[in-house]
């Protein structure tokens, strides 16, 4: 097996309306949304919270011998807003964008391996590897109802509960999910989480996919996209009950 060395360099900066953070956590958690309770509809938006982040990610794959080397530098960020609570209800929205600042030819097929770049394409959109600028995604658009210490959320959202529903935020975009999610924390020694997920936007992609499509993306190697697209048509799940 040929030796392969992959180099990563990540610079991330996270900003919210209440301060500045560099702790590496750049997405707000559904369970930690603004707890500001308001008395009228006007204050829903006035007491909401704005958040965002900027990220620069450089990656290079250096292969042994005459095998092709690849590199890419991605830059991007996100901007989000979620309201304060009004009678337990909240709204949230967030968009994310990425640009290919510079890179080698990621579509170049190595004559020996008969493959193009693997890891670097995940910085952008592996389904559109030629695209360098139109790489935006609506990551969050949800309505949430809070009751006591628990909450019910419906729409597009971040979920980070293992082993399956994780953000896996190791590139420019994390996994995000669409569906219904419940966090129940009214028991003394137990916390219950569950929901119905019917769409996913995977890491390294900008579009939303149904469950049968998303499962196909995870089963097959991303470098064998043409075979994977045929496989997806044979999968028929309607959703995922967690």
Dump pLDDT digits (tens) for 200-229.
998 889 999 987 777 766 655 444 544 444
For the chain, which ranges sit under pLDDT 70? 1-37, 216-242
pLDDT of residue 222: 46
pLDDT of residue 129: 87
* pTM score, whole prediction: 0.76
Read out DSSP for 14-32?
EEETTEEE-SS--S--GGG
180 contacts 196 by C-beta, under 8 angstroms: yes
C-alpha angle with apex 158: 152 to 163, nearest 5 degrees? Answer: 95
Would you mind telling me the total number of residues written for the chain in this entry? 242
Rounded-to-integer distance, Cα 157 and Cα 180, Å? 9
pLDDT of residue 188: 85
Rounded-to-integer distance, Cα 127 and Cα 108, Å? 15
The CB density around residue 25, as the number of other CB atoms within 10 Å, is 12
pLDDT of residue 189: 85
């Amino acid at each position: 097996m040929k030796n392969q060395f992959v180099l990563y360099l990540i610079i991330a900066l996270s900003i919210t309306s209440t301060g500045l953070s560099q702790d590496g956590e750049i997405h707000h958690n559904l369970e930690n949304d603004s707890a500001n309770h308001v008395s009228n509809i006007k204050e829903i938006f006035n007491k909401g919270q704005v958040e965002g982040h900027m990220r620069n990610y450089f990656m290079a794959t250096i292969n042994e011998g005459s095998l092709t080397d690849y590199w890419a530098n991605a830059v991007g960020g996100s901007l989000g807003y979620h309201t304060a609570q009004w009678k337990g209800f909240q709204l949230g929205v967030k968009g994310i964008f990425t640009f290919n600042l510079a890179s080698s030819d990621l579509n170049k097929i190595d004559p020996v391996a008969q493959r193009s770049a693997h890891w670097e394409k995940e910085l952008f959109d592996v389904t559109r590897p030629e695209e360098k600028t139109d790489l935006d995604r609506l990551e969050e658009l949800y309505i949430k109802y809070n009751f006591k210490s628990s909450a019910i959320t419906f729409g597009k959202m971040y979920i980070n509960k293992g082993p399956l529903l994780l953000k896996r935020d190791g590139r420019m975009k994390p996994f995000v999910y669409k569906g219904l999610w419940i966090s129940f924390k009214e028991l003394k020694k137990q916390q219950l989480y569950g929901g119905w997920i019917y769409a996913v936007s995977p890491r390294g992609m900008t579009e939303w996919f149904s469950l049968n499509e998303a499962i196909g993306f995870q089963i097959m190697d991303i470098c064998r996209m043409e075979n994977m697209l045929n496989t997806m048509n044979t999968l028929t799940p309607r959703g995922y009950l967690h």
